[in-house]
Structure 1
């Protein structure tokens, strides 16, 4: 893609998320139109446009926590960021996962390359680590080179887990506004409990119980330079 296409994506993200609907607010026609334009622009992006080098499998991970080898299971390439949104690329080693986590009060558009699984739930109210919450497993899907963007909002599909299910995985991500713990947008992690753990035998097929947990010890995200075109607004 030409450099101007990347500027179009960034500028469209800026327009789309300048005044996004918040939790419980009605989504207006203008936002929907701009959001659709942004998704359309992102759909044209391919791995070759991101100048990504194929990831090698982590041969040293057989039964040993990745952090003991010093190499992060997930890395992040920063592309650009404003007060309204952040844009970057996550890279997962073969077999790696980004654990079930949330995006408090945030919108997001993700473009998986080449593949990944997603598990989504409605947003959860703030709570303490260990608190038990009932939620709904909305979907599980696999994203490939031909898949369109997956979307989350403050009200829907705000929780998800991303797995590299068939080799190394990369996905481009736009979050609006960016994570900011000082403004109430910190990332929280969750674990799905079994029925026995939840002490319930009346759960429907898609109902699950979640408990907030600390960041898993075998997951952390490193950083690496972005080799693609510089994006200036």
Structure 2
């Protein structure tokens, strides 16, 4: 069996060193992305929307991702699509497809400097994001436990603005490699997030399960507004009002587009 991307030997009646050497050699020849696929296939085998893997399985995937390097996926910051161009408008984001099935998907977003993946959600998903190189600003939110159509005062007579939903800030910081894999869950961990490239950077995402319009998991985009923009003050929420925001659903921004690019790293063998 495989735990944390490492080969763990089962007990054998024979203590032959030759057998153990052969097993160790077979494990060392396996690519990092193949180990990632194998672990994800096991972890998400019985998964589905809203199903969060047990903590030990989350750690198995995190362990493989934490050890992943740009070389493991055939990436280099010198590739052309990481360069900032002189064209007007925001730089294009590239997506490298590694694998997808109804249970999970693996892919890499490649962002040139100043490019942005707008604030969006991950309905019913557990998502692992591994920054492979560069610096990226991440801002993320989770929904506050207030019904979407809530029309009663939150506190001190304040009401939820029409078309808005209250969210709490989870993260607002710049991350620079090397850094640990970030994980978000269906109801926690920053389920709605925005990525902005400070420098050229690449982030590998594992989604379990992936987006699916047919199964009611479309990707939704949002505007975010400071809590005081509509509430007048911050006394109506516990703690620091700066930790809260109103999110407004919107269509996919016209200026945001993702172009496919060829993945040239080690191939994943389905099994």
Q: Same fold by TM-score, threshold 0.5 exceeded?
A: yes
**Helix, strand or coil at the partner of 2:206:** strand
CA deviation after TM superposition for structure 1 residue 173, in Å? 0.7
Please provide the CA RMSD for this pair. 2.3
**Helix, strand or coil at the partner of 1:162:** strand
Matches of 2:137 and 2:56 in 1, distance apart? 27
What are the Cα deviations for residues 1-34 of structure 1, in whole angstroms up to 9, with x where unaligned?
95433222111111112234864x7x67xx2111
Range 197-206 or range 170-179, more displaced = 197-206
User: Unaligned 5+ residue runs, structure 1?
Assistant: 67-71
CA deviation after TM superposition for structure 1 residue 161, in Å? 0.5
Q: Structure with the greater relative contact order (CA < 8 A, sep ≥ 6): 1 or 2?
A: 1
CA deviation after TM superposition for structure 1 residue 207, in Å? 1.0
Tell me which structure has the larger Cα radius of gyration: 2
Residue in 2 aligned with 1:69?
none
Range 206-215 or range 112-121, more displaced = 112-121
Match of 1:149 among 164, 181, 190: 181
Residue in 2 aligned with 1:7?
34
TM-score normalised by the chain length of structure 1: 0.85
- Is 1:162 equivalent to 2:195 in the alignment? yes
Q: Is the 8 A contact 1:104 1:123 kept in 2?
A: no
**Helix, strand or coil at the partner of 2:210:** coil
What are the Cα deviations for residues 23-51 of structure 1, in whole angstroms up to 9, with x where unaligned?
4x7x67xx211110111011111112221
Number of equivalent positions: 218
Q: 1:35 to 1:232 in 2, by over 3 A?
A: same
Q: 1:126 to 1:89 in 2, by over 3 A?
A: farther
Q: 1:110 to 1:133 in 2, by over 3 A?
A: same
Q: Is the 8 A contact 1:123 1:154 kept in 2?
A: no
